[in-house]
Amino acid sequence: MDVVKIDGKHLEVCSLVGTSKYATDYHVCVVVCKASEKKEIMEAIYNRLDSLFGKNKPVTISVHTDDMLPKFPKTEATVLSLNCKKRAHYERIEEYFETVPIQKYIELVEMIPRLNKNSKFYKAEGLAINNGGGETEDILLNFKGKTAEIYRSVICDESIVRLLKKWKYGEEFHFLELLKIEPFEPKNVERIHQELEIQTFPAGVKIPAFEYDNSYFYFSFFLLSAMKYIVREDGIVAYITLDYGKLMFQVKNFTEKEMVESGFSIR
């Protein structure tokens, strides 16, 4: 441990530099410090980063403790790996999202977002939640963004029908581009098809695929066959499948009429 003068204070720290194991291969600096001085050192690090880059560069924040959530004005993506159990934790997170700009991407590794339904959290362009549980439907009902991925979900057929009917009849999800819910094992697939008027691509047609590459969520690229489609009230098409043990739903920028006239070749 070395004694370092930071922001006028003398603190004991040890700095370790390593390399990420992921494809980006970026360098990682780990600061080891006394538990009693953790907050002061975090403040100093965040203040130094803010003075160097915060006002000019887009920032992705990855947080594993709620002791301090840095509020950089250029923060555009947030990854939270927190296990929130107290209301005070959620209030701190609520305050964080109200302070930073509307995020391009938010990922929650552990916590379920028990936040105010009008929170800026739900206005993020992209949302990935690794532990949706029984609150999956409520999370999606509040979502106003473009892409949502919910894992470890617990959701029934009726909830899926309710959610997608809101899209189909133009009531909600006006900006939605992609929805992924996993796992989802429907109890009555035929009933879902009937309720939502889901249609099958004609025989002999080359089946299109879902395509999505999330540059923030490094393992979120997928390419799956879209066996069926659904039509919104204004004619816009969305690919949908209830196979693979998940629900996949992707809104396209063309109408059913345009798709048919192209011989189903438009993608």
Q: pLDDT digit of tens for each residue in the chain (267 aa)? A: 556 666 666 666 665 555 544 444 556 667 777 777 777 777 777 777 777 776 566 777 777 766 667 777 778 899 888 777 777 778 888 999 998 899 999 999 877 888 899 999 999 999 999 999 999 999 999 999 999 999 999 999 999 999 999 999 999 999 999 999 999 999 999 999 999 999 999 988 888 888 776 655 544 555 677 789 999 999 999 999 998 899 999 999 999 999 999 998 888
CA 137 to chain centre: 15
Asked if 256 and 231 count as a contact pair (C-beta separation under 8 A), the reply is yes
Asked if 122 and 145 count as a contact pair (C-beta separation under 8 A), the reply is yes
**Residue 19, SS3 per DSSP:** strand
Query: Which uninterrupted H or E stretch holds 142?
Result: helix 136-142
Instruction: Please give the Cα distance from 229 to 85 (Å, whole number).
Output: 40
User: What pLDDT does 218 receive?
Assistant: 45
User: What pLDDT does 16 receive?
Assistant: 54
User: What pLDDT does 22 receive?
Assistant: 46
Residues in a beta bridge with 62: 79
Instruction: Please give the Cα distance from 196 to 185 (Å, whole number).
Output: 17
Instruction: Output the DSSP codes for 67-119.
Output: S-----TTEEEEEE-----SHHHHHHHHHHHHHSPPPSEEEESS------TT-
Residue 30: is it exposed, middle or buried by C-beta count within 10 angstroms (0-12/13-18/19+)?
Answer: exposed
User: What pLDDT does 174 receive?
Assistant: 96
- What pTM was estimated for this model as a whole? 0.81
User: What pLDDT does 259 receive?
Assistant: 95
- Dihedral sign, CA of 93, 107, 145, 245? negative
